Structure 1
Amino acid sequence: MTNALDTYTAAARRAMARAGILAADAGRHTLDDVHILLALTETRPFDRPPTAFTLTPNATRAAMDGADGADGGDARDRDPLGDRDARDRDLLAALGVDLDEVRRRLRGLVALDDPALWRLHRARLRPLRVTLSGPPGDLVLTGRARKVIEVAAGRWREPGPVRGEDLLWGVLCDHTNPALRVLRAGGVDVRRLAAELNSARPAA
């Protein structure tokens, strides 16, 4: 199975792995654009860090909490930092399994953030379904997250790996994205950031 992460820089692969961990830790079965944004603030996977990207992880989390559910989109795409899946927790508890303890032990055995353990792939029979798979499980990308990676992959339509800057450009591509509202709520000058990213086009 093709792994789209093979076309990413090492730093961008680490950012996507981190996004997957953030979504899984929040008890999500989907990966949203805000998980990618939060991972970008934590990992800073840029060749030349954009000076206008001033958002910190703490400010991102605070803005995400404030924007929670305000987008009016598909209910499956809401609450990206919501509580852990209560049904899974209750089912495992009924079997005598402590989900938090399982996760703690898993972290001790496996380097969850090792990019080599993660795959980004598109379903053959459902081409609009893109999944990020790693040690915590499979995370289906929401439509917004899928747009981020598709824009990032086709940004310059030239050969070359997908970089952190391209992922950030993907976040900026849709003004309806909750992630874009998080950027604005965090005090980022989005126009200046877009101009800076646009001027950072790699040499052909």
Structure 2
Amino acid sequence: MFARFTQDARRAVVRAGIHALDAGRPALDAGLMLLGVAETRPFSLRSFTATADGVRERVGVGDARALLATLGIDLDEVHRRTRSGADDPERWTLRRSALRPLRVTLYGPLGEIPLAMHARKVIEVAQCRPGPVTGERLLWGLLADHRNGAARILHETGVDLRELAREAHIPTHRAA
């Protein structure tokens, strides 16, 4: 499924998967997908003003760095030593189950994580048109379903959603 993804869009999905695995989540959800997009910024949209920290605090992924630092542990250094190359998008795959077609799973060197329904929809919307799946297309997938909470999170972090949709060429209404 990653065949049409640009390297940057693929990196955003991989970051989201790593966050889900690190947090011990049972599935990669749309909030974590938004966090992956906010961290990697797979586009150059001026109107995407959300920060990774702003999104992180709203999706409930804590940052263990401060707690571990009180114990004298540098989490970034631990990751550098133990996860060398684990975040390389080329080492990850995204596959749909042949037996359960609604099940999409991200596989990589750190483990595997199924995509929750709303995250799967993000991928499906991003792939619905011909051409490469870019960061803008991932953003379109995140904003296409109001129930996944991405628009609310972006609004809470100060993003002008109308301007973002205009700049990213995201359709804002259905054609008649």
Q: Any conservation in 2 of the 1:184–1:190 contact (CA below 8 Å)?
A: yes
- Which structure 1 segments of 5+ residues have no match? 66-80, 84-100
Q: How far does residue 107 in structure 1 lie from its aligned partner after superposition?
A: 5.4
Amino acid at match of 2:25: R
Q: How far does residue 108 in structure 1 lie from its aligned partner after superposition?
A: 2.1
- Please report the TM-score for the alignment, with normalisation by the length of structure 1: 0.71
Q: Distance in 1 between matches of 2:139 and 2:47?
A: 12
Q: Which residue of 2 aligns with 1:141?
A: 115
**Secondary structure of 1:111's aligned partner:** coil
Q: Which residue of 1 aligns with 2:174?
A: none
Q: Which residue of 1 aligns with 2:22?
A: 25
* C-alpha distance 129-195 of structure 1, shift in aligned 2 (>3 A): same
State yes or no: 1:114 paired with 2:88: yes
Q: Which residue of 2 aligns with 1:196?
A: 167
Q: Distance in 2 between matches of 1:152 and 1:130?
A: 14
Q: Any conservation in 1 of the 2:140–2:170 contact (CA below 8 Å)?
A: no
Q: Which residue of 1 aligns with 2:69?
A: none
Mapping of residues 35-114 of structure 1, within 5 Å: 35-46=32-43, 49-65=44-60, 81=61, 104=78, 108=82, 110-114=84-88
State yes or no: 1:8 paired with 2:5: yes
Q: Which structure would you say has the larger Rg?
A: 1
State yes or no: 1:153 paired with 2:127: yes
Q: Any conservation in 2 of the 1:28–1:82 contact (CA below 8 Å)?
A: no
Q: Distance in 2 between matches of 1:172 and 1:122?
A: 22
Q: Any conservation in 2 of the 1:29–1:138 contact (CA below 8 Å)?
A: no
Q: How far does residue 142 in structure 1 lie from its aligned partner after superposition?
A: 0.5
Q: CA RMSD in A?
A: 2.4
CA deviation string 1:98-129 (max 9, x = no partner):
xxx9xx58952541111111010000010000
What number of residue pairs does the alignment pair up?
159
Q: Any conservation in 2 of the 1:27–1:82 contact (CA below 8 Å)?
A: no
